[in-house]
Structure 1
Amino acid sequence: MFHKIRKFGLKTAGLVTAAAVLWGCTEVGGGSQGPRVNTSKPVVVGVLVPSGSGNQQQEALAGSLVAAAKLAVAEMGDVQIDLRVYPTAGNANQAAAAAQRAASEGAKILVGPLFAQAANAAGTAVASQGINVLSFSNNPDIAGGNVFILGDTFANTADRVVGYAARKGQRSVAALVRADAAGDVAAAAVQSAARNNGAEFVGVAKYELTSDSAIAAVSATKSLIERTGATALVLDADAAGALPVFAQMLPEKGVTSASTQFIGLTRWDQTAPAVRSSAGLQGSLFALNDTSATSSFNQRYAAANGTNPHLLAGKAYDAMRAVGTLLQSGSSDALTRKKLTRNAGFQGANGIFRLRPEGTNQRALAVATFQEGNVVVLDPAPRSFGGAGF
């Protein structure tokens, strides 16, 4: 979405989603609890965004991220925050330099950057100073030490939708995922979600980013289901790529959501009307953010900026909301790992969320389905942690 998208070889090209382009492979380690702050004076917060490369999409995204961060600060008027923006050009080396500059200018915490390698580099650059990084990445490989990820994760989504399906009696789960690093993480997330929710993970079928491979995966998936008796099939495909193909061809092979519950790991609600009206997707399950919270955020953002937010802008709002909420306590240890990972979490742009000790995040999600092409919420997003849906 932000870098060149590989073509899928079908009319529905561009299988890489907003989530997938954020992936990297390295891991950051170390990192202390966090610096002390003086909340009686403005606390410097460095916001690292992917501007400065000349890429128009990245520039627009960067602007929306900054606007969302500023909105969060404005809505918490009793908090003294000195928000400073640092461009990274979406580049790891520049992200490291930006992080070091922010630290030298007094930043007590960093918000961003976006791409995994840039976030990893930024975290490494300031780890020795005990500065925590709330990155916009969704790659769990970089989470840990002083780096947190705010992006939506397969693990969080899988746990919600597989857990819901398991409670409805679907206790034999298979997966159909891409044959790449992101697909491996998706499959691992489904396996973990099945185990955590009293279901059995019975196997996985994979497909390459080609039309021939996707077609072959349909037959492989049918064989997997017949061999294992799987009652649920979790797909990582999205509407911009292989989902329309699978939605058509799996039912043609006799695999339907009526007999084997289809479950999506991506935002199937964002599909084109023709796709979500397809017979193969009716009755499928997928996750949504808290729709009322998202609608409210979009309206407030539009009122403040005269335009709609980027799909990822809410992550910057969430980061600043967490920072502001903790600084409201007046405590000198407000930005330490212990406080960042408080169990109560925070109110974000798309509902409640919390940061986990291992550096990942947990978000409140609703479970929805398609009925005659319409998105219907079956189980609303929780409004607090500890109840149903977590």
Structure 2
Amino acid sequence: MTDARPLCSGHLRSGLRALAVLGLGLMLAGCNGLGGRTAPPVVVAPPPTVQVQPPPRVDVPAMRDPARFYTPAHMAGAQPIRVALLLPFNSPRDNVRTLSNAIYNAAQLALFEFDNRQIMLIPKATGGTSGGAQRAAQEALGAGADLILGPLFAEEVTAVAPLAAGARVPVVAFSSDSSVAGNGVYLLSFPLDQDIERIVEFATLQGLQRFGALYPQGTYGDRARSAFEQAVAARAGLVVAATSYPADSDGMYEPARRIAASYGEGSFQALFLPEGGAQLKTISPLLPYYDLDPRQVKFLGTGLWDDPSLALEPPLHGAWFPAPPPEGHAQFLTRYKRAYGSTTPPRIASLGYDAASLAVALATRPAGERFSAEALTDPDGFAGVDGIFRFMPDGRTERGLAVMEIRAGGAVVVDPAPTSFRPPLF
């Protein structure tokens, strides 16, 4: 609903502290992170198993016994930098297991391409539950994790946060729920509110001031409604018509009819549809069916629209949505497929790549500074395969997003993403 480093990236620090040791440009792989070599297949370890019985509660400081930190035989005598990766590899849901393995693969790919032999990735399975995430965090901290990447879901992050904070180990999680950020938790994700801010800003700059909205029922729809109303009001716009719809396709007809009927004589200029996947493909054709012409009303979406299959949906042709700059992600996909086969990973698998790359970038710093709050919240940010991003002091992520337009041949950039967080010089 989460992109820097050595990532494909390089630290976006102004010349002074620009992670020059890595000397990598924005497009990691595109910047030839492999030095022109063909990447050999990456060997991925099988997903870790989870203990059936929960371990006894252990005081976190007591777990941090350096004598018990995990060091594989081949790193004996070295000083490894231990990076835990907490994901629901063993979730009962097929799609969650697929996503978890793809994020893990992407992280492995980053470590291979940047070839930092000090980094040791410690994967732990969370099961997708708060209890499982807590046990995984205990194990990772007991093994000596210097940084935790993940977990994926908000409830998992909430369970992990106090354990990590007690051990003074930062967490770079993949949840898009900003309420779980802060106190040592940084969210490397695609925040919904920033998606909405970006698309509303662009739409208003094009002269659109009156908006309609169709929200999915549920927590996500409520968050979208709140963020959209705030973004529109901040730009002196008006939400003149809005309704919500249930998840079942039969229940979408009446809300679609109502929003189309409210259009009347041009009462709104744009319609916001914070939906994706099959649900979007179901509801979008209902709008022209009820005489809401997409050639007269501009359809607006969120990052959920970053889906090549939407080019096959004629009602969405000409619609706008926010997304990371596409070039870096396309290069990432090429390298991922070369390493793991032809299957295209889930869209947010790239978060694993950028997270691992961030760890590699910061690992070049002295031990006491590498994963500090000051390092993680560098105001110049980082550049990854999904564009520039930076962590705010409250743990939220700020991203540089492009605006895309859906066309029959695929989405195209109509407003480029920024390449720096520094104000432009005039």
TM range, smaller chain: 0.7 to 0.9
TM-aligned CA deviation for residue 236 of structure 1: 1.2
* Alpha-carbon distance in 2 for matches of 1:359, 1:257: 38
* Alpha-carbon distance in 1 for matches of 2:310, 2:325: 21
Q: Tell me if 1:68 matches 2:103.
A: no
Bigger shift: residues 58-67 or 313-322 = 58-67
* Alpha-carbon distance in 2 for matches of 1:200, 1:328: 49
Deviation per CA, 1:178-201, whole angstroms, max 9, x where unpaired?
A: 121110111122123224445344
The answer for the alignment partner of 1:285 in structure 2 is 320
The answer for the alignment partner of 1:161 in structure 2 is 199
Q: Say if 1:282 and 1:373, in contact at 8 Å, map to a contact too.
A: no
Letter in 1 for 2:271: L
TM-aligned CA deviation for residue 202 of structure 1: 4.1
* Alpha-carbon distance in 2 for matches of 1:72, 1:298: 12
Give 1:230's match in structure 2, choosing from 237, 260, 268: 268
TM-aligned CA deviation for residue 384 of structure 1: 2.0
Letter in 2 for 1:285: W
The answer for the alignment partner of 1:41 in structure 2 is 79
Give 1:270's match in structure 2, choosing from 285, 288, 307: 307
The answer for the alignment partner of 1:251 in structure 2 is 288
Q: Say if 1:137 and 1:151, in contact at 8 Å, map to a contact too.
A: yes
Q: Say if 2:241 and 2:259, in contact at 8 Å, map to a contact too.
A: no
The answer for the alignment partner of 2:213 in structure 1 is 175
Relative distance call for 1:254 and 1:123 in structure 2 (3 A) is same
* Alpha-carbon distance in 1 for matches of 2:192, 2:112: 32
**Structure 2 residue matching 1:48: 3-state secondary structure:** strand
* Alpha-carbon distance in 1 for matches of 2:92, 2:412: 40
**Structure 1 residue matching 2:207: 3-state secondary structure:** coil
Relative distance call for 1:387 and 1:158 in structure 2 (3 A) is farther
Q: Say if 2:174 and 2:188, in contact at 8 Å, map to a contact too.
A: yes
**Structure 1 residue matching 2:347: 3-state secondary structure:** coil
Q: Say if 1:208 and 1:214, in contact at 8 Å, map to a contact too.
A: yes
* Alpha-carbon distance in 2 for matches of 1:307, 1:356: 36
Cα RMSD over matched residues? 2.8
The answer for the alignment partner of 2:390 in structure 1 is 354
**Structure 2 residue matching 1:251: 3-state secondary structure:** helix
Q: Say if 2:311 and 2:407, in contact at 8 Å, map to a contact too.
A: no
TM-aligned CA deviation for residue 163 of structure 1: 1.1
TM-score, structure 2 as length reference: 0.74
Q: Percent identity?
A: 30
**Structure 2 residue matching 1:354: 3-state secondary structure:** strand
Q: Tell me if 1:366 matches 2:412.
A: no
The answer for the alignment partner of 1:8 in structure 2 is none
The answer for the alignment partner of 2:378 in structure 1 is 342
* Alpha-carbon distance in 1 for matches of 2:322, 2:213: 16
The answer for the alignment partner of 1:94 in structure 2 is 132
Q: Tell me if 1:297 matches 2:327.
A: no
The answer for the alignment partner of 1:323 in structure 2 is 359
Bigger shift: residues 70-79 or 183-192 = 70-79
Q: Say if 1:342 and 1:354, in contact at 8 Å, map to a contact too.
A: yes
Q: Say if 2:86 and 2:123, in contact at 8 Å, map to a contact too.
A: yes
* Higher RCO structure, 1 or 2 (CA under 8 Å, sep 6+): 2
Q: Say if 1:72 and 1:317, in contact at 8 Å, map to a contact too.
A: yes
Relative distance call for 1:147 and 1:244 in structure 2 (3 A) is same
* Structure 2: segments with no counterpart, 5+ residues: 2-63, 65-77
Q: Say if 1:120 and 1:147, in contact at 8 Å, map to a contact too.
A: no
Aligned length: 348
Give 2:231's match in structure 1, choosing from 190, 193, 197: 193
Relative distance call for 1:130 and 1:369 in structure 2 (3 A) is same
TM-aligned CA deviation for residue 42 of structure 1: 2.4
* Alpha-carbon distance in 2 for matches of 1:123, 1:76: 29
TM-aligned CA deviation for residue 272 of structure 1: 3.6
TM-score, structure 1 as length reference: 0.80
Structure whose CA Rg is larger: 2
Q: Say if 2:193 and 2:224, in contact at 8 Å, map to a contact too.
A: yes
The answer for the alignment partner of 2:90 in structure 1 is 52
Give 1:208's match in structure 2, choosing from 217, 237, 246: 246
Letter in 2 for 1:101: E
Q: Say if 1:123 and 1:147, in contact at 8 Å, map to a contact too.
A: yes
Q: Say if 2:310 and 2:406, in contact at 8 Å, map to a contact too.
A: no
